[in-house]
Chains A and B, each alone.
Chain A
């Protein structure tokens, strides 16, 4: 169930930059709460079912902790609710505490979604297309590392089978490991000669390289990136005009309901719920197709 994840990496990156960017800069409770809800719903779909209870057990206490901590330490605001150890606990600080908790959990939710969706290969691909050499280098590095580790293991086991390991303590063991490490390095250098031969044999350096990837930018990706950018622009316009500004201190301000502000709220809401809607649509479509089979 990863309908959203199947978009082109560029689309995904744009989306996440947009949503997390707005989330960070818009200090407006309506927008933060919508973003949090969107994030939670999306996250729920991405998670494995059995991980959900454990996550709830982590996020709910964290939410409460952040929410309670702020009024205990911050005494700004003009409406005291009660006094604790001679310090006022104010309404403003309490509300702001909840707001902070929403922010923290929201950011965590979206980051979680980001790491689920933007897997290493997608990230690599994006950066690779900016610097083509880098993507090949990284790909070769990712090829080399496991090979190196495997060889270390082979050599270590081979030496154990001849009893060529020390039992005389720490320094000797370090020396032995160093020896193995050096020998695997020279093995790898030897190997690198053959690798470079294999590269030359396959025309490396003969022409200007293209960078092939399995990702394709389709019409669907175009539409999605357009929608994302449009919603982003509408929201940012609202924010820039000051319509969505909101103040907690010294007294909780009033929520603006001007047309500009409402436009910003609703576009941001659509943006925040977009992945959830796409996932659900994907799931429903899937079920519909199955039922027709």
Chain B
């Protein structure tokens, strides 16, 4: 039975040159789990907001959106930023907020809030302040607060964009549970498709404001390839789909790792392949060295860095992976001189960090890209913001402009210079922040979770920038959760665990040697080719040679 019916929907923002949506038609059945995907700026958010009348944007609209339930209040909406959606200061009040708005009596609210907290497993947080929660907990609270109003349809606009993979999985699992156990209809916009493809009933692919595909998840890969061999959305698909899809089989394409393994077993069963290893030659000098470093935040707190030692050579891309809250960011900040260890030595360019006086550590030497790129913007336009860096370096006014333009050209953000940094998409913000970092002409760049909340094509853009930096001899240290990104880009990877860096190695050996902490591509093909860790390598290892 239909619950949402969208017919020939077009929408244009006031003063915009072109339509944000053009003739989108689809319908959603009661209890379906729909995934909406597409590149940033393809109109996902606009579409989702038009589905709920309370928060529909203003503009020219034609066509129709029909909700076939009783009241549009039965549609719940969750946005991307965990922080900005929370209205009140305590968890219990946040859960009750929507119910208070409906004017329900206190006894009813008490009961609903109670059962919701139980269902979501957040009883322990019930009396806590919302500000003290982690990002994942906040987003779960947002979902719970919406669910407490007993919606029939849940719409979520990239809810996991700001979360780390573990919190994101947990969130998706909760969504899937709501869908399966309570029959809630879910419409979810997502970048990370690996986890949502297996639970989706249908996938809506959008491109330039049009709905180009609306089909079963297992058919999406094949259909996309029919639209074009190098369709930009192909990269965003789950690894399984990409590997199995590009091997050229017309049948049903597997979407989970398990199905992917079965698929490989069926087609390439007896095959064994070992890829040649990419040779790793350490640079001539050491860019960053940690010698037995200890750090803790407060006297009475446990050590975060516990005798950490590492040598990172000039000109390499070094990826630090590790669990949540393991101290990766802390380590990065210690290297960057933002935090001071209480024991051990940190050498940058073979000089102790402490020996750099004043700003000199950050002058054409070292720069940190923070986790939230937003934190770097303080002016009205991107251009003014970028000009700040040469200004601080004491570059003459006449030369600043040229410097900004040259970096902007390099990162392909010339068209963004006049824009307000807050109006940009996540990927664009990331690029502009990176431009700011590069303007200080660093020899060592530290990146904290650079792939958080950006889509596949923005990730590719980032990869290109990284390889360009590498060829310019810049050392890049990345802290990330993103195993795929590390496998594609890093020269060496290391696992940060229990206050130490362990298992430093080239990606092929690092991921190939891990069983749990590895890429989806490696999980799928490891029986056939244990050291293929990226989608490209996996396809390569399978494509060369005979099949059963």
With an 8 A cutoff between CB atoms, is A143 at the interface?
yes
The answer to whether A143 touches B149 (Cβ under 8 A) is: no
The answer to whether A201 touches B55 (Cβ under 8 A) is: yes
With an 8 A cutoff between CB atoms, is B388 at the interface?
yes
The answer to whether B88 touches A207 (Cβ under 8 A) is: no
Choose, from A110-118, A183-191, A261-269, the stretch at the interface.
Answer: A183-191
Partner of A161, one of B77, B89, B358, B370: B370
The answer to whether A198 touches B104 (Cβ under 8 A) is: no
Chain B nearest CB from A133 CB (Å) reads: 12
With an 8 A cutoff between CB atoms, is B323 at the interface?
no
The answer to whether A143 touches B368 (Cβ under 8 A) is: no
Q: Which of B67-116 contact A (CB under 8 A)?
A: 73, 76-77, 79, 81, 83-90, 92-93, 96-106, 109-110, 113
Q: List residues of chain A with CB within 8 A of the CB of B83.
A: 147, 191
Q: Which residue of A lies closest to B373 (CB)?
A: A158
Chain A nearest CB from B397 CB (Å) reads: 17
Q: Which of B323-339 contact A (CB under 8 A)?
A: 333, 336, 338
With an 8 A cutoff between CB atoms, is B146 at the interface?
yes
Q: List residues of chain A with CB within 8 A of the CB of B129.
A: 146
Q: Which residue of A lies closest to B132 (CB)?
A: A146
Q: List residues of chain B with CB within 8 A of the CB of A81.
A: none
Q: List residues of chain B with CB within 8 A of the CB of A183.
A: 377-379
Given A139-B93, A161-B370, A198-B84, A154–B375 Cβ distance below 8 Å? yes
Choose, from A163-171, A225-233, A236-244, the stretch at the interface.
Answer: A163-171
Choose, from B32-40, B209-217, B359-367, the stretch at the interface.
Answer: B359-367
Complex CA distance for A199 and B338, rounded to whole angstroms: 38
With an 8 A cutoff between CB atoms, is A44 at the interface?
no
Complex CA distance for A291 and B52, rounded to whole angstroms: 58
Choose, from A58-66, A83-91, A95-103, A208-216, the stretch at the interface.
Answer: A208-216
The answer to whether A200 touches B55 (Cβ under 8 A) is: yes
With an 8 A cutoff between CB atoms, is B50 at the interface?
no
With an 8 A cutoff between CB atoms, is A289 at the interface?
no
Q: List residues of chain B with CB within 8 A of the CB of A160.
A: 338
The answer to whether B89 touches A201 (Cβ under 8 A) is: no
Chain A nearest CB from B245 CB (Å) reads: 37
Q: List residues of chain B with CB within 8 A of the CB of A194.
A: 79, 81, 84-85
With an 8 A cutoff between CB atoms, is A206 at the interface?
yes
The answer to whether A210 touches B109 (Cβ under 8 A) is: yes
Partner of B87, one of A151, A167, A198: A198
Q: List residues of chain B with CB within 8 A of the CB of A54.
A: none
With an 8 A cutoff between CB atoms, is B376 at the interface?
yes
Partner of B88, one of A140, A150, A191, A197: A140
The answer to whether B87 touches A161 (Cβ under 8 A) is: no
The answer to whether A212 touches B145 (Cβ under 8 A) is: no
With an 8 A cutoff between CB atoms, is B300 at the interface?
no
With an 8 A cutoff between CB atoms, is B440 at the interface?
yes
Partner of A210, one of B105, B336, B338: B105
The answer to whether A154 touches B100 (Cβ under 8 A) is: no
The answer to whether A197 touches B101 (Cβ under 8 A) is: no
The answer to whether A161 touches B79 (Cβ under 8 A) is: no
Tier of interface size on chain B = 35 or more
Partner of B109, one of A159, A165, A201, A212: A212
Given A147-B83, A206-B73, A158–B100 Cβ distance below 8 Å? no
Chain A interface residue count, CB cutoff 8 Å, equals: 52
Q: List residues of chain B with CB within 8 A of the CB of A191.
A: 81, 83-84
Chain B nearest CB from A260 CB (Å) reads: 43
Partner of B106, one of A186, A199, A205, A212: A212
With an 8 A cutoff between CB atoms, is B1 at the interface?
no
Q: List residues of chain A with CB within 8 A of the CB of B130.
A: 143
The answer to whether A206 touches B378 (Cβ under 8 A) is: no
Given A160-B338, A209-B103, A139–B88 Cβ distance below 8 Å? yes
Complex CA distance for A186 and B377, rounded to whole angstroms: 10
Q: Which residue of A lies closest to B448 (CB)?
A: A161
With an 8 A cutoff between CB atoms, is B372 at the interface?
yes
Complex CA distance for A14 and B428, rounded to whole angstroms: 58
Complex CA distance for A34 and B359, rounded to whole angstroms: 65
Q: List residues of chain A with CB within 8 A of the CB of B88.
A: 136, 139-140, 143
The answer to whether B376 touches A202 (Cβ under 8 A) is: no
Given A187-B374, A206-B102, A162–B437 Cβ distance below 8 Å? yes
With an 8 A cutoff between CB atoms, is A195 at the interface?
yes
With an 8 A cutoff between CB atoms, is A47 at the interface?
no
Chain B nearest CB from A194 CB (Å) reads: 4
Interface centre among A151, A164, A192, A199 (most CB of B within 10 A): A164
Q: Which of B345-389 contact A (CB under 8 A)?
A: 358-359, 361-363, 367-370, 372, 374-379, 388-389
Q: List residues of chain B with CB within 8 A of the CB of A187.
A: 374, 422
Chain B nearest CB from A239 CB (Å) reads: 39
With an 8 A cutoff between CB atoms, is B170 at the interface?
no
Q: Which residue of B lies closest to A155 (CB)?
A: B375
> Residue-by-residue, is B428-459 near A (CB-CB < 8 Å gives 1, otherwise 0)?
00000000110010000010000000000000
With an 8 A cutoff between CB atoms, is A134 at the interface?
no
The answer to whether A146 touches B76 (Cβ under 8 A) is: no
Complex CA distance for A147 and B129, rounded to whole angstroms: 11
Given A182-B378, A186-B422, A202–B149 Cβ distance below 8 Å? yes
Q: List residues of chain B with CB within 8 A of the CB of A140.
A: 87-89
Complex CA distance for A157 and B337, rounded to whole angstroms: 11
The answer to whether A163 touches B440 (Cβ under 8 A) is: yes
Complex CA distance for A199 and B85, rounded to whole angstroms: 8
With an 8 A cutoff between CB atoms, is B262 at the interface?
no
Interface centre among B54, B113, B149, B363 (most CB of A within 10 A): B54
Given A164-B388, A183-B377, A143–B362 Cβ distance below 8 Å? no
Chain A nearest CB from B135 CB (Å) reads: 12
Q: Which residue of B lies closest to A132 (CB)?
A: B100
Complex CA distance for A161 and B335, rounded to whole angstroms: 10
Chain A nearest CB from B326 CB (Å) reads: 19
* Other A-B pairs, 14, CB within 8 Å; known A139-B90, A164-B392: A146-B131, A157-B338, A161-B336, A161-B370, A161-B446, A162-B367, A162-B368, A180-B378, A183-B379, A201-B54, A210-B99, A210-B104, A210-B109, A212-B99
A-B contact pairs, 9 of them (CB 8 A): A139-B93, A163-B363, A182-B378, A183-B379, A194-B84, A195-B85, A198-B142, A206-B73, A212-B113
Residues on A facing B (Cβ under 8 Å)? 121, 136, 139-140, 142-143, 146-147, 150-151, 154-155, 157-167, 179-180, 182-183, 186-187, 190-192, 194-195, 197-214
